[in-house]
Amino acid sequence: MIQQVMSFGKMPLANGFLEKEEFLNEYFFELALQFDSESKLISLVEQPNPSKMFNEKYAFFSGTSKLMQEHFRLMAEDYFKDFLFNKSDAFLVELGCNDGIMLQNIANRGVKHLGVEPSLNVANVAKKKGINVISNFFSNSLALEIKKHYGQADVLCAANVMCHIKDLSSVAQGAFSLLKEDGVLIFEEPYMGDVINKTSYDQIYDEHVYIFSVLSVMNLFARFGFTLFHVEPQETHGGSMRYYLCKNGVKNINESVNRQIDFELALGLDKYETYLDFSEKCKNSKLNLVELLKNLKKDGKKVVGYAATSKSTTVLNYCGIGSDLIECIYDTTPIKQGKYSPGMHIPIKPYIDFENDRPDYAVLFAWNHSKEIFHKEKDFIARGGKWILFVPEVGIIETKVS
């Protein structure tokens, strides 16, 4: 049975940063969640057409943070060591390789590889690095073509991609035919356990059609002949999970899977009521954030945003926060700078202006990169600036200058 959990109201595209002239024709859809009591999957009720989100104007570049560069370097090392090393015909395929942040480490080792990336602008950046990429959406039919031209794969991997793909059955079927008999399907995605524990509702936006849990991944992929044999929690994106799957009967199930399932049952991820409770927590978070910003405004403080993340689009639109409360957002991504935030139209400025503009408070939208950002922005704290966080709770945080 599928039951609606909550609606966040009308939402624009999370990465739909736009020019003033585009305001009138901006696209909106209703962002709402539903729960499937059979598979235990949380998904969006409605998702915009993928070509609206993943195209030649895609604004998300994976390579913008040091933390993520290191994360993907280690990921490539693990995949090489565990599944590719010492195989003369080793072949790895990555879905949604973005700017090649992970795949470049595989290519550098001289391993046969292929990236499948639908957003042409980021795919071209990967190509310039000498990575073998085709710009397309992965599907069962594309998998058959890849198999014909390149042969079967040892590893089919994806990071922050699988939760973007509505037609998972086509992907799972494609993965099954593309992988060798002992091949592995590995993907990591923002984790429902963390979203519930931290009330990090900002993970919910157009691109994330699913927020996976171990229970839901196990149930969904079992329908296509896959066994979930290992899971590894990750710190990235505010809490993610890496899922390892094999064809049925090929590997033994690791203890990590049962341990994580016990955790999920204790948290109630299998129950509809847990998500209703989450929806109440989102409402409280919204009230608290708006009240805090209104009070700061009343006190004449200069409040800005730091990092125009995809996540910030949900927060700003759900809470109805515009440039009256947050006067601008600073970001390092060149194609976002000079544009306006989706829906609420807050100006996006280059991050080098952050210090010169001397804000009193900065709402940290990239809270998942807080360590790196606090370190980089020591001067902001040293002259009395303060960070505002909304995950796991709304509040002004005191950071020490070290």
Range 252-278 burial, b when 16+ CB lie within 10 A, else e: eeeebbeebbeebeeeebeebebbeeb
Q: Give the nearest distance from C-beta 9 to ligand TYD in angstroms.
A: 19
Q: Give the nearest distance from C-beta 348 to ligand TYD in angstroms.
A: 9
CB 261 within 8 A of CB 230: no
Q: Give the nearest distance from C-beta 101 to ligand TYD in angstroms.
A: 11
Tokens found for residue 266? 């204790």
Query: Considering beta carbons, is residue 184 or 391 the nearer one to ligand TYD?
Result: 391
Q: Give the nearest distance from C-beta 53 to ligand TYD in angstroms.
A: 12
Q: In what order do the strands lie in the sheet with 395-397?
A: 348-350, 329-331, 303-306, 361-364, 386-389, 395-397
Q: Give the nearest distance from C-beta 44 to ligand TYD in angstroms.
A: 16
Distances (CA, A) of 29 to 273, 343, 396: 25, 11, 32
CA gap 269, 113 in Å, rounded = 36
Query: Considering beta carbons, is residue 20 or 376 the nearer one to ligand TYD?
Result: 376
Query: Considering beta carbons, is residue 224 or 318 the nearer one to ligand TYD?
Result: 318
Query: Considering beta carbons, is residue 105 or 310 the nearer one to ligand TYD?
Result: 310
Query: Considering beta carbons, is residue 173 or 309 the nearer one to ligand TYD?
Result: 309
CA gap 73, 101 in Å, rounded = 8
Burial of residue 222, with CB atoms counted within 10 A of its CB: 0-12 exposed, 13-18 middle, 19 or more buried: middle
Distances (CA, A) of 306 to 124, 321, 370: 28, 14, 11
CB 348 within 8 A of CB 308: yes
Catalog residues that contact ligand TYD under the rule CB under 6 A. 60, 64-65, 307-311, 331-333, 336, 351, 366, 368-369, 372-373, 376
Query: Considering beta carbons, is residue 63 or 174 the nearer one to ligand TYD?
Result: 63
Q: Give the nearest distance from C-beta 378 to ligand TYD in angstroms.
A: 13
3-state secondary structure of 202: helix
Query: Considering beta carbons, is residue 47 or 227 the nearer one to ligand TYD?
Result: 47
CA gap 61, 71 in Å, rounded = 15
Q: Give the nearest distance from C-beta 29 to ligand TYD in angstroms.
A: 18
